[in-house]
Amino acid sequence: MQRTAPRLTRILACAAVPVMLVVAGCSSDSGDGGSGSTGSKDKAASSASAAPSPSQTTKTVEPAKFAKLPEACKAIAAATTSSLVPKAKTKNGTPAVSSDLGSRSGCSWNGLDDKGVKGSQYRWLDVSFYRYESDAALGSGQERAQENLAKELAKVEETPGATKVRTTTATGIGDEAKSVAYQLRKTNEDFVYGSIVARTGNVLVLLSYNGAGYAGATTPSDPTIMNGAVKAAKEAVAAVAAANK
Find the mean pLDDT for residues 218-239: 98
| From-to residues of CATH 3.40.1000 in the chain | 72-243
CA–CA separation, 137 and 149 (whole Å): 19
Q: Residue 121 gets which letter from DSSP?
A: E
Find the mean pLDDT for residues 42-56: 50
Q: Lowest mean pLDDT of 9-13, 101-105, 135-139, 187-191, name the range.
A: 9-13
Q: What is the pLDDT of residues 5-25, one digit of tens each?
A: 444 344 334 434 443 333 334
| Residue whose C-alpha is closest to residue 77's, from 107, 117, 102 | 107
Find the mean pLDDT for residues 170-179: 97
**With bands split at pLDDT 50, 70 and 90, how would you rate the model's confidence at 86?**
very high
Find the mean pLDDT for residues 130-153: 97
| Residue whose C-alpha is closest to residue 122's, from 77, 94, 89 | 89
Amino acid at 140: S
Quick check: 129 pLDDT over 50? yes
As a whole number, the mean pLDDT across the chain is 84
Find the mean pLDDT for residues 162-178: 98
Helix (H, G, I), strand (E, B) or coil at 165: strand
Q: What is the pLDDT of residues 188-217, one digit of tens each?
A: 999 999 999 999 999 999 999 999 999 999
What's the number of CA atoms in the CB half-sphere (13 Å) around residue 181?
17
Length of the chain: 245
CA–CA separation, 118 and 177 (whole Å): 37
Global pTM exceeds 0.85: no
State residue 118's pLDDT score: 87
CA–CA separation, 125 and 86 (whole Å): 11
Does the domain spanning 72-243 belong to CATH 3.40.1350? Answer: no
Helix (H, G, I), strand (E, B) or coil at 102: coil
- CA of 98: how far to CAs of 25, 73, 230, in Å? 62, 13, 25
What's the number of CA atoms in the CB half-sphere (13 Å) around residue 11?
6
| Residue whose C-alpha is closest to residue 75's, from 166, 227, 207 | 207
Decide which of 3 and 136 is more confident: 136
Find the mean pLDDT for residues 28-54: 48
Decide which of 2 and 176 is more confident: 176
Decide which of 43 and 192 is more confident: 192
Q: Lowest mean pLDDT of 15-24, 87-96, 127-136, 185-194, name the range.
A: 15-24
Find the mean pLDDT for residues 159-184: 98
State residue 85's pLDDT score: 98
Q: How would you classify the pairing of strands 120-131 and 94-95?
A: unpaired
Beta-bridge partner residues of 167: 180
CA–CA separation, 11 and 69 (whole Å): 73
State residue 58's pLDDT score: 58
| 211 φ/ψ angles, rounded to the nearest 5 degrees | -160, 165
Which residues, including other chains, have CB under 8 Å from residue 83's CB and lie 6 or more apart?
A: 228
